[in-house]
Amino acid sequence: KAGVTQTPRYLIKTRGQQVTLSCSPISGHRSVSWYQQTPGQGLQFLFEYFSETQRNKGNFPGRFSGRQFSNSRSEMNVSTLELGDSALYLCASSLGLVLSTDTQYFGPGTRLTVL
Amino acid sequence: AQSVTQLGSHVSVSEGALVLLRCNYSSSVPPYLFWYVQYPNQGLQLLLKYTSAATLVKGINGFEAEFKKSETSFHLTKPSAHMSDAAEYFCAVSEGTGNQFYFGTGTSLTVIP
């Protein structure tokens, strides 16, 4: 099976712009979770989508949003970018039956740099 | 609220020596615990997970971890380090109902030849 793919791998934006990141889960997986990884804060949970619905949400401002399509592909959008949004954004997919015990499979991430 | 503490942001061991990476958690309910490994420029890969079955969990690449409720710990060990074990290791905790994952800040493992 193909793994989790994320596009693009690298992205450079300027403050105030918006950005959309894409994640394609492993075939058959219905849950997609997003994480932000920074040197200072480590890995932080953004949100999780299951069957096109946001099922869980972390403590991030409303500038961070996402959606999931019927084929389980997911997109994450960040509006009004700030310097602090520079990070590695990781996507993880799982079967989605019970997120807390599922094995999550991570993609390679999208490296976002905000100038 | 849950949290995960990984003691030691950097650990160095000699090739062939014991690897011990420490993880302590706080949780108000029985937790589910995970160890992930991250190689440079890659995503995270699951090493092992504890989901209330056997307290000693064996994972991939010779790693294992023991859940100790009394110590609220889930330390990761490997009897003999290999050069290929050099990576970043993350401990994570989740609850049955919360459906959120909380990761530790990571431990960077260096293996000295």
Q: Is B92 left (phi over 0), alpha (psi -120 to 50) or beta?
A: beta
* Distance to chain B for A10, nearest Cα, Å: 11
Nearest CA in chain B to A43: B103
Chain B hits for A107, Cβ within 8 Å:
43
> What is the pLDDT of chain B when averaged over all its residues?
90
A52, A70 contact by CB (below 8 A):
yes
Of A16-25, B5-14, B91-100, where does mean pLDDT reach its minimum? B91-100
Answer yes or no: do A4 and B43 touch at CB < 8 A. yes
Q: Is B73 left (phi over 0), alpha (psi -120 to 50) or beta?
A: beta
Answer yes or no: do A100 and B44 touch at CB < 8 A. no
- For chain A (115 residues), the mean pLDDT of every run of 10, in chain order, is 91 97 96 92 90 90 96 97 96 82 89 97
Q: What is the pLDDT of residue A88?
A: 95
d(CA A48, CA A96): 10
* DSSP structural state of residue A26: P
* Distance to chain A for B106, nearest Cα, Å: 7
Mutate one of B100, B102, B105, B107 to test the A interface: name it (highest A CB count within 10 A). B100
Chain B hits for A101, Cβ within 8 Å:
32, 49, 51, 94, 96
Answer yes or no: do A98 and B44 touch at CB < 8 A. no
What 3-state class would DSSP assign to A109? coil
Q: What is the pLDDT of residue B74?
A: 95
* DSSP structural state of residue B40: T
| Residue located via tokens 């969990």 | B57
pLDDT, tens only, B31-61: 889 999 999 878 899 999 998 778 899 999 9
Q: Name the residue among B94, B104, B105 with its Cβ closest to that of A100.
A: B94
* Distance to chain A for B81, nearest Cα, Å: 25
Answer yes or no: do A42 and B106 touch at CB < 8 A. yes
Q: What is the pLDDT of residue B97?
A: 59
* Distance to chain A for B64, nearest Cα, Å: 17
Q: Where does chain B show beta strands of DSSP type E? A: 3-5, 10-14, 19-21, 24-26, 32-38, 44-50, 56-58, 64-68, 73-78, 87-94, 101-103, 107-112
